Structure 1
Amino acid sequence: MINWDEFEHIHVIRKLKQIIGRWWNVDVFFADDRGNLKVIQKGVQADLKNSVCGLILQRDEGYDKLVEFARDAVTELRKSQERGVTRDFLPHLNAALFPIVIDNDFMGAVISVGYLKQGSADAQKKELAKSLAHYNLPSQDIDFAVSKLKELANDETAYFMELNDLVSQEISTLHKEISMRDDRISELNKELGIR
């Protein structure tokens, strides 16, 4: 069983999330093998880098939309067996998902939400803004949030995908190391108990 809260405090994972957030204004979330979001909760203020995510998660309906998206996307990722999958979270607002695999078992996913593809036209941004209006958000806040979104350039895509995949690999590696350490401690405790 993965202790999701533990990974949020691991220096390497925290730094990778900061880099991804700083470079692309993308928020990185974790989901378990059923697509249940971890570390973020409904109604709890979170430190988000992406202006649209920050705006939509102010509303319960927005949080529910992210939960529904995570469940559907993780199910798709599990079936695909790919190292990375991209999907629209909202119209033209993209997300990338990366599996967390431990000992050949699918344990969850890293979900990076909040970028536009290169060449996103004003019409696409307006369509995104229109979809955000359904959450009863102030129009000036929507316009500001959409204007702050970054486009992921075609030449940056491979690097973006690699960094996000590195987060999922790091979680897998750390979980294995923690499990090995715990097993070793149990063995030593048994040896001490025998003496």
Structure 2
Amino acid sequence: MSSLKITEIFYSLQGESNTVGLPTVFVRLTGCPLRCVYCDTAYAFSGGERMSIDEIINRVGQYRTKYITVTGGEPLAQSACLELMSRLADLGYQVSIETSGALDVSGVDDRVVKVMDLKTPSSGELHKNLFDNIAYLKANDQVKFVIGDDHDYQWSKAIINQYDLDQRCELLFSPTMGQQDPAELAEKILNDNLPVRFQIQLHKLLWNDAQGR
């Protein structure tokens, strides 16, 4: 029976992506091969509870929402994550995965929305980006850039142009909390007329909390 190491399963408002504000169940998997400088979920690097996929589905079913986000850590670091997402989609849930873009996304079920975080220079993990993943992005997928400074901003613009990302999927720009002034980033986006969605992590505004509870 397939199982996964789970850090937590919780119900909250989606704090980012294009479903921001919607009641969502989050399934946070344990473990991550990256160590981003600005990481706000380091508690998910280790520990956790091993649960069967049936147990996870039963837990998720306790909440009355159709939106499920599988996150981490880096959820794709556990291979059974693919089975979990497919089974959730089979049950009619609208499933998304938050992934770093450092691991192969080609096996993700087409019904699952990929929210892929391409690592900007200030993350410290720029070299982990797997750009081959871009070929597997669909129109309803999203690429997120976490912007910490102007170097990140200029790098992100160049990557969008290099890969014609705005023609492939939706793009998200998010300021690094406590590092990049949100209003300054918003002004840059307006001045350059970038085809991106500006976002601030809603859960941190509401609860000053990484989990969003």
Relative to the length of structure 1, the TM-score reads: 0.29
- The structure number with the bigger radius of gyration is 1
Report the structure, 1 or 2, having the larger helix content: 1
Relative to the length of structure 2, the TM-score reads: 0.27
User: Which gives a bigger RCO, structure 1 or 2 (Cα 8 Å, sep 6+)?
Assistant: 1
